[in-house]
């Protein structure tokens, strides 16, 4: 059957424009849908086949490019800010509804790629609908699950990041939900995925972000809704458009916390690490706060010395870097006790090349455990930047603009 552009546009115009929630009513399905891991799905699975049918039709109609353009509009402030998770949840919900309409599978559920456990989906290398010629990811790519499961214990301000504060504060501040596995996957896969303006053009983008969305669902299981600040809940998220170019309704971040509102869930994952201690929580107003500033050694390295503070219980670091325009970067953060040099903390921030969109990017990282392990001894925090793939050509590395550790006593 032949479908021309006008017919496809007409069929899509009713999808993704009717407001929220985009759940079972939007797709016409009566039951809650389950987003499954693609690693356990056969190529002829109905959901995979629905996505395979929809992509060529969306490309032909212009609906696919419309999603690319929406994501590439950085005025929506959907990256390096606490809007990252809710904005992308809305983007995926609208995309899922469009695929359901175009493919004719009303109960379509977007699969996810669990990049913390499973290799890059073979189908996305082999099938002409899903593969991309400009990717650099190896077929055997598997990312260490520690790069994101450990972040599920992070408090809200570390996991979500912060609002953009403009003058007098960080313009962009990404949380660990963004700078850990999410950024690493974009940098490793390469090609369009390494350019935020074109990333959704690679079909793996949608499965990748479904996994990011799943991680948020897992984080929510560990945290009550009370952890979401009112300012975050009141954030108005927009920038979405229908295939006819008309603006889609906005939504508040507070309306996005439960996937059931959108008609889908993720399978319960028993393999995640148990919580052995309660989350430290955000730095609160009840204690005295001290700030310690980076002492630069080079443009790409520096240290922060924190003296012995017996009662220090919580701390968070803020790192602002000037990224390479077209190369992903690593920001290595380590901490050693001042008395004996024993390492008490190590983590890596993965920075996608924000230089294509922003002048600089900032990242929030929890250092509470490092401070607790060094109580009474003092700690030296070392921050270094390098290439995500090793130095090549004239790569100079991301420059550190500033770094601060806030300690609550």
Q: What is the pLDDT of residue 252?
A: 97
Q: What is the pLDDT of residue 335?
A: 94
What is the mean predicted confidence (pLDDT) over 317-340?
84
Residue 256 pLDDT level (bands cut at 50, 70, 90): very high
Fold assignment, 289-408: Jelly Rolls (2.60.120)
What is the mean predicted confidence (pLDDT) over 391-406?
72
Check pLDDT > 80 for residue 4: no
- What is the distance in angstroms between the CA of the first residue and the CA of the last residue of the chain? 69
Q: What is the pLDDT of residue 352?
A: 76
Check pLDDT > 60 for residue 12: no
Q: What is the pTM (predicted TM-score) of this model?
A: 0.81
Q: What is the pLDDT of residue 369?
A: 84
The answer to whether the CB of 262 falls within 8 A of the CB of 93 is yes
Rounded Cα gap, residues 393 and 403, in angstroms: 28
Rounded Cα gap, residues 147 and 144, in angstroms: 6
Fold assignment, 5-265: di-copper center containing domain from catechol oxidase (1.10.1280)
H helices within 73-203, ranges in order?
84-103, 123-126, 146-149, 156-160, 176-179, 181-189
- Which residue, among 78, 85, 266, has the nearest Cα to 177 in the 3D structure? 85
Place of tokens 């609908």: 129
368-380 per-position pLDDT tens digit: 888 888 877 889 9
Residue 11 pLDDT level (bands cut at 50, 70, 90): very low
Q: What is the pLDDT of residue 372?
A: 84
29 C-beta neighbours (distance < 10 Å), count: 18
The DSSP call for residue 30 is S
- Give the whole-number percent of the chain exceeding pLDDT 70: 76
Mean pLDDT of the chain: 80
* H helix or E strand, kind and range, residue 384: strand 379-387
What is the mean predicted confidence (pLDDT) over 229-258?
86
The answer to whether the CB of 199 falls within 8 A of the CB of 65 is no
- Give the whole-number percent of the chain exceeding pLDDT 90: 43
Q: What is the pLDDT of residue 342?
A: 93
Q: Do domains 5-265 and 289-408 have the same CATH topology?
A: no
Q: What is the pLDDT of residue 391?
A: 41
Check pLDDT > 80 for residue 344: yes
What is the mean predicted confidence (pLDDT) over 308-315?
70
What is the mean predicted confidence (pLDDT) over 11-32?
44
Domain boundaries, the chain: 5-265, 289-408
Q: Provide the residue count of the chain.
A: 409
What is the mean predicted confidence (pLDDT) over 137-156?
74
Rounded Cα gap, residues 402 and 265, in angstroms: 40
Check pLDDT > 90 for residue 93: yes
Check pLDDT > 80 for residue 225: yes
Rounded Cα gap, residues 33 and 36, in angstroms: 9
Check pLDDT > 50 for residue 277: no
104 C-beta neighbours (distance < 10 Å), count: 11
What is the mean predicted confidence (pLDDT) over 249-258?
95
Q: What is the pLDDT of residue 147?
A: 65
Rounded Cα gap, residues 120 and 263, in angstroms: 27
């Amino acid at each position: 059957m032949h479908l021309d552009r006008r017919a496809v546009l007409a069929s899509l115009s009713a999808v993704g424009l009717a407001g929220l929630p985009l759940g079972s009513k939007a797709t016409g399905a009566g039951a809650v849908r389950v987003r499954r891991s693609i690693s356990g799905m056969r190529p002829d699975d109905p959901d995979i086949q629905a996505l395979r049918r929809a992509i060529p039709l969306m490309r032909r109609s212009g609906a696919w490019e419309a999603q690319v353009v929406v994501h590439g509009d950085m005025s929506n402030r959907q990256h390096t800010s606490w809007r990252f998770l809710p904005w992308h949840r809305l983007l995926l919900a609208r995309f899922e509804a469009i695929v359901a309409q175009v493919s004719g599978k009303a109960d379509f559920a977007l699969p996810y790629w669990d990049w913390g456990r499973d290799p890059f989906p073979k189908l996305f290398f082999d099938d002409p609908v899903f593969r991309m010629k400009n990717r650099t990811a190896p077929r055997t790519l598997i990312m260490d699950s520690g790069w994101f499961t450990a972040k599920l214990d992070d408090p809200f301000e570390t996991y979500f990041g912060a609002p953009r504060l403009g003058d007098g504060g960080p313009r962009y501040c990404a949380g660990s939900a963004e700078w850990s596995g999410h950024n690493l996957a974009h940098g490793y896969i390469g090609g369009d995925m390494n350019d935020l303006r074109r990333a959704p053009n690679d079909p793996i983008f949608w499965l990748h972000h479904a996994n990011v969305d799943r991680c948020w669902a897992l984080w929510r299981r560990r945290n009550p809704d009370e952890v979401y600040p009112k300012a975050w809940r009141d954030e108005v998220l927009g920038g979405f458009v229908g295939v006819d170019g008309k603006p889609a309704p906005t939504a508040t971040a507070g309306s996005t916390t439960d996937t059931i509102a959108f008609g889908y869930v993720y399978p319960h994952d028993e393999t995640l690490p148990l919580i052995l201690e309660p989350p430290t929580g955000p730095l609160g107003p009840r204690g005295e706060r001290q700030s310690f500033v980076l002492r630069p050694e080079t443009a790409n390295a520096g240290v922060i010395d924190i003296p012995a503070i017996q009662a220090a219980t919580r701390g968070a670091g803020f790192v602002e870097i000037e990224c390479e325009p077209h190369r992903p970067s690593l920001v290595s953060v380590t901490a050693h006790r001042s008395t004996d040099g024993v390492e008490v903390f190590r983590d890596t921030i993965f920075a996608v090349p924000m230089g294509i969109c922003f002048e600089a990017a900032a990242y929030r990282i929890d250092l509470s455990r490092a401070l607790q392990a060094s109580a009474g001894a003092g700690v030296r925090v070392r921050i270094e930047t390098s290439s995500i793939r090793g130095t090549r050509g004239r790569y100079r590395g991301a420059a550190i603009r500033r770094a601060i550790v806030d300690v609550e006593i």
